[in-house]
Amino acid sequence: MILPKFDYKKARTIEEALELYNKYNGNALYLAGGTDLVPLIKLRLFQPQVVIDLKGIDGLKDIKKVNNSIVVGPNITLFELKQSSFIKDYLPCFFESLEATSCETLQMRGTIGGNILQNTRCLQYNKSLEWRTARGFCLKMGGQVCNVLPNSKSCFSNYCGDNAPSLMTLDAKAKLVSPGGERTVRLEKLFSKDGRAPFNIKPGEILKEIVIPLKKTMGAYEKLTVRGS
């Protein structure tokens, strides 16, 4: 399945990305690794006027110690994070969640920010436009019913990210920047508990940093899957 037509812009700074977002009146999507976003666009689940590439913003790729915290840039790939001796030695639960995320090939492309902010999924939703039109639009597509459970008024799509649950146990925080300024929230506060719009994110807001307390922890991450591969 091929991508639809859209404008492509590569931002060099966060300020430039926000300016582009406003220029297109919010009909825009931010691109980092693209392992979640690109398939959604191919399925026409998102049809933006412009895709704004954030990979050229150097400040979003850093991992550093700041006071009593480790600050992780959202554009760092999952594979790069796995190579950090600090992550492996101090944050074993987070390290194991990185190991459990997809395959190594996708870990080299997918970013930690993209994994945290990936959209919810559903076998009745993640289909082609033709399939969804024939089936009938569900709650997540602006319809009136859930196609998984037709009598439900709630969306049954699932969040599938591996890294956010482990980071929540570490009391991680998210720093976000928007046209209105910056804010820092506990990571769990990003989640809305509504599968239709799973994140409490303001229009145009960009995840700038993930802040993790700088202390040695104990823990493990176990993933329950339908299949082993």
Average pLDDT for residues 13-17, to the nearest whole number? Answer: 97
Contact 17, 57 (CB under 8 A): yes
**67 lies in some domain:** yes
Q: Which residues of 153-179 are buried (b: 16+ CB within 10 A; e: fewer)?
A: eebbbeeebbbbbbbeebebbbbbbbe
Average pLDDT for residues 112-125, to the nearest whole number? Answer: 96
Q: Higher pLDDT residue, 176 or 152? A: 176
Average pLDDT for residues 206-227, to the nearest whole number? Answer: 92
CA distance 177 to 201: 10
Q: What is the pLDDT of residues 102-113, one digit of tens each?
A: 899 999 999 999
Q: What percent of the chain has a predicted confidence (pLDDT) above 90?
A: 91
Q: Using the structure block, give the residue that is written with the tokens 């991450």.
A: 221
CA distance 18 to 30: 10
Instruction: Give the CATH number, domain containing residue 65.
Output: 3.30.465.10
Average pLDDT for residues 85-96, to the nearest whole number? Answer: 94
pLDDT of residue 228: 66
CA distance 153 to 42: 28
> How many domains are there within the chain?
1
**18 lies in some domain:** no
pLDDT of residue 153: 87
**71 lies in some domain:** yes
User: How do the residues of the chain divide into helix, strand and coil, expressed in percent and rounded to 5?
Assistant: 30, 20, 50
Residue type, 117: L
**222 lies in some domain:** no
**Residue 46 clears pLDDT 70, i.e. is over it:** yes
**64 lies in some domain:** yes
Average pLDDT for residues 137-159, to the nearest whole number? Answer: 93
Confidence of residue 1 (pLDDT cuts 50, 70, 90): confident
Q: Domain containing 205: what range? A: 60-121+158-213
CA distance 100 to 77: 14
Contact 111, 83 (CB under 8 A): no
Average pLDDT for residues 147-151, to the nearest whole number? Answer: 91
pLDDT of residue 179: 86
**114 lies in some domain:** yes
Contact 211, 175 (CB under 8 A): yes
pLDDT of residue 45: 96
Confidence of residue 58 (pLDDT cuts 50, 70, 90): confident
Average pLDDT for residues 31-37, to the nearest whole number? Answer: 95
CB atoms within 10 A of CB 202: 13
CA distance 43 to 66: 41
**96 lies in some domain:** yes
The residue among 15, 18, 39, 42 whose CA lies nearest residue 30 is 18
Residue type, 218: M
Which two structure tokens, joined as six digits, stand for 16? 């430039």
Confidence of residue 229 (pLDDT cuts 50, 70, 90): low
**115 lies in some domain:** yes
pLDDT of residue 224: 85
